[in-house]
């Protein structure tokens, strides 16, 4: 009960982008969310996705440093904020692969009970809606508690201004709403 008090404590949010691209609009949206969060939100953009190897049950006993680093980062966060591109109408394989690792051992995953929120983003008109839906489904299967509204950002390549912050009040409200939902879920846990 009440694991954080936002008047005095920090909400540690691990931000996970499903894109490995240097100029990723999904990673940029996560940075924007971090800038909007206020002093009580400490948002860290995770940079370990490329180091997570292909999942194999044969490697579960000794998964290696990439997986260990991911599990430690997730365990050390109060909540997770995902932003995913849409690849062929679903989430990118590298993100699904990382979640397959994080889902183990079955029933005792580091994701079990973890508060998570999801952003979908695409330069197209649908805002990565199908990737958002699939990522939400997978996170629930892993035992995570998905909170907040469905935030899908169409024309995401123009959604942020030169300052890296949302170009519209609508997007600003959507991002702060997800942070608020994560904070409320952590407080209520
Ligand atoms: C393999 C691949 C498949 C894609 N499929 C879709 C798709 O189904 N729907 C969509 O809206 N955009 C699709 N795109 C375009 C991505 O939305 C676009 O590249 C976007 O910028 C990727 O996100 P990022 O900027 O965070 O890397 C695809 C891109 C790639 C590389």
Residue whose entry in the numeric block shows the structure tokens 């939100």 = 41
Which class is domain 11-188? alpha beta
Q: How far apart are CA 136 and CA 87, in angstroms?
A: 15
Ligand 1 centroid–CA 142 distance in Å is 24
Is 86 near ligand 1, meaning CB less than 6 Å away?
Answer: yes
Ligand 1 mean position to 85 CA, how many Å? 6
Average per-residue pLDDT for the chain: 95
pLDDT at residue 4 in the model: 44
Regarding beta strands 41-45 and 115-121, do their DSSP bridges make them parallel or antiparallel, or are they unpaired?
unpaired
Q: What is the mean pLDDT of residues 83-107?
A: 97
pLDDT attached to residue 149: 97
The pLDDT of residue 6: 43
What is the tens place of the pLDDT at every residue in 147-170?
999 999 999 999 999 999 999 999
Q: What percent of the chain stands above pLDDT 70? A: 96
- For atom 18 of ligand 1, which residue has the closest CA? 122
137 lines ligand 1 (CB under 6 A): no
Top mutation candidate among 20, 24, 85 for ligand 1, by most atoms within 8 Å of CB:
85
With cut-offs at 50, 70 and 90, classify the pLDDT of residue 101: very high
Q: What are the tokens at 97?
A: 């692969």
84 Cβ closer than 6 Å to some ligand 1 atom: no
- Which ligand 1 atom is the nearest neighbour of the CA of 26? 26
Tell me the domain boundaries of the chain.
11-188
Contact predicate 82/98, CB 8 Å: no
* Distance in Å, CA 128 to ligand 1 centroid: 8
The β-bridge relationship of strands 11-17 and 145-146 is unpaired
DSSP letter string over 106-153?
A: TTS-TTTT-EEEEEEE-SSSSTTHHHHHHHHHHHHHTT-EE-S--EEE
Q: Which long-range contacts (CB under 8 A, 24 or more apart) does 101-109 make?
A: 101/52, 101/55, 101/63, 101/67, 101/70, 101/71, 102/70, 102/71, 102/74, 102/142, 103/141, 103/142, 103/143, 104/60, 105/60, 107/143, 109/142, 109/143
Q: Whose CA is nearest to atom 20 of ligand 1?
A: 122
- In sign, the C-alpha dihedral spanning 168, 174, 175, 180 is positive
88 Cβ inside 6 Å of ligand 1? yes
Residues 136 and 118: beta-carbon distance below 8 Å: yes
Is the dihedral angle over the CA atoms 72, 74, 77, 83 positive or is it negative? positive
- The string of pLDDT tens digits covering residues 127-137 is 999 999 999 99
Q: Is the pLDDT of residue 68 over 50?
A: yes
- Compute the chain's Rg from CA coordinates: 16
């Amino acid at each position: 009960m009440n694991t954080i008090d936002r008047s005095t404590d920090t909400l540690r949010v691990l931000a996970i982008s499903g894109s490995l691209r240097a100029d990723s609009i999904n990673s940029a949206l996560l940075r924007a969310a971090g800038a909007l969060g206020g002093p009580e939100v400490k948002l860290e953009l995770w940079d370990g996705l490329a180091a997570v190897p292909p999942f194999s049950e044969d490697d579960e006993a000794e998964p290696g440093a990439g997986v260990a680093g991911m599990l430690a980062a997730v365990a050390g966060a109060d909540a997770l904020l995902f932003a995913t591109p849409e690849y062929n109408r679903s989430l990118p394989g590298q993100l699904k692969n990382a979640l397959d690792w994080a889902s183990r051992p079955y029933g005792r995953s580091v994701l079990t009970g973890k508060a998570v929120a999801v952003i979908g983003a695409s330069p197209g008109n649908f805002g990565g809606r199908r990737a958002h839906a699939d990522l939400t489904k997978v996170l629930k299967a892993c035992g995570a508690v998905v909170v907040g509204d469905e935030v899908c950002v169409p024309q995401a390549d123009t959604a942020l201004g030169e300052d890296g912050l949302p170009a519209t009040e609508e997007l600003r409200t959507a991002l702060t709403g997800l942070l608020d939902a994560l904070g409320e879920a952590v407080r209520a846990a």
